[in-house]
Structure 1
């Protein structure tokens, strides 16, 4: 990576961290700190925890498309302004309804698609994967940091203090985007970075992608279900909120070690097997919460089991979506995946709140166990095919020449799928890299120009 790409990766990853910290810091404390709010109920708590997911899911794809029309930075800055405004509304809330409005407004700052597109615009094709990986790691890092910092900050400044810190973080990210993130000189080919509305129906009709989209929806239902219950359980075990980080820190560190071990074990397995094993870990965790008398030691064990499974699924599902998506359609596939992800967070909060209010906490765990069983059946039908690598080649052909070029590229050894889009001056390839000869492909493209 050159200096511009390193600067872009660091600054965009920082923007992500600042924003995601704000979304996640409240998750481990909301269920406890809202008990004194007017209008408090289990249902309202669930909506407050997951409310951001509704607007994130609805606006994820439109905001990405808008960034292609008015520019990446205006959309990112506008999203950060909305996020900061929502944080201030939530921070000043005096009742649960106002708090939920603030959380929903936070979610309206759906900038993930625009950030990824800008990252693609300022990086060379050969370095784009590294750029995306750095940003992806920053998302995971921000979640862990938020879960630890949330209880610490809330003990000093209360729930409103967390939201005001969140607004300040969003405000800090705005000049970072405007002054530090490099300006894009060239727009990257859109097929693998931005969603297209015309592709959404086809993505929904793709059975493999639908299994993966439903998987991430259920996964984020699970994490939201967990945080409607876990903070109260830790407090009931005699740990004040200010000390909750002492449980989360070792559990999260050990879960990363467990993730590494699981990834090593899974080498050589059919693709669906480690996914199903991870889902089984979530099932075991929720069964433990439901049926085992939970002293603190058992609470830590089952929470560790949950996070090992969660970490594996969270890190591997996006890679599978990227592999399964048709050539030139990864942007649409990933945009739809993100929408399912955030909608899952909303559903988890809303359903957990209703069940806790009217049926009790046991019904939440029974739902989680039932969802895991259904999820295992869903994954059992997942195709165990190998992962394929993607290449994007620059082309300069007319619409009439595009079909001939696509046919030539498709006949190369190892090529699984080809899409040539003359308007983007791009040829998208999905290949088996053990058989594919990149130089041959480049030679064919060169002969056509």
Structure 2
């Protein structure tokens, strides 16, 4: 009898413990998702993908550049109020080019830029790259002509083709200095730093930067930053009109990886960044920049600090292709680990990251929104992100998604 009682008590404890764990797990699962609304991009404008080219205009509309490999890229406009799309630029139609394959104007890859007068700036890039032969360098009988710069005025609906910025190269990156009326890009694949003067309609080429940053960051002094050679951040200073290489000094745990996503902080004193496969969110301290001639291959240094992990607790950093500074001053970015898309938030004041949950499309639980490629934020804190057509199981259409007022006001942190 005594053995039976002991056995019964043990089984009872195990049963209630199991129930408790299941309840806790279920409660955790309820909080483990963050929903977004999906708005598929019109099929005529793409063949399943598009990259950094997304931004909100002064008119409140979302401007999106697409990739249409082997054919013509499009700049399209989404009206959040009517949920309607408009075709703004058909690259081949406006340039009168007919290239196919690599020689086509098949990507709006660079960041969409918005001037103080509301004019939209966008630039094209070549098609699916051949990284071995680089036929756009004259090895092909036709060759890629080079990426075009376009402007669109929403007030007049006029599109202007400002021509090819650098022969046989595509255009990437993208920052705008509204005060000086300058636009900054870099060319692909030779990575030249390009300065376009809006008032004069002229272009300057400052030579190669040695790196391929998808994003560039600009502070309130007009200084432009990007990823250079391994372990290098380059900086352009408009006051001195020079391009500098700054070696990175890492403070904190882990190893340094070249950043892919870069955004300037709200107070313009730091750059927040993350790297593909990087385990930490990076903070570059702009006040730490020092110039020195001790090294022949650099002009100085900048400190990068690792304060917080980039992914959910216990997981290594994954695919981190897109990010944006929220209206609350936090850095929002996606982190895809083992084909699971997480939305992350980094708070510089607290030196902490928070996993907001696994991204799930409202009314479409069967879709898995992998691989965000670009992001923008509205004045009310709403964040839009652009996802390529991908996913385990049912394919998610190439779309923009909306997180309503996610970054508005003061951030409330989960305990």
For this structure pair, what is the TM-score category when the shorter chain's length is used for normalisation?
under 0.3
Counting strand residues as a fraction of each chain, which structure ranks higher? 2
TM-score (norm 1): 0.23
Higher RCO, 1 vs 2 (CA within 8 Å, ≥6 residues apart): 1
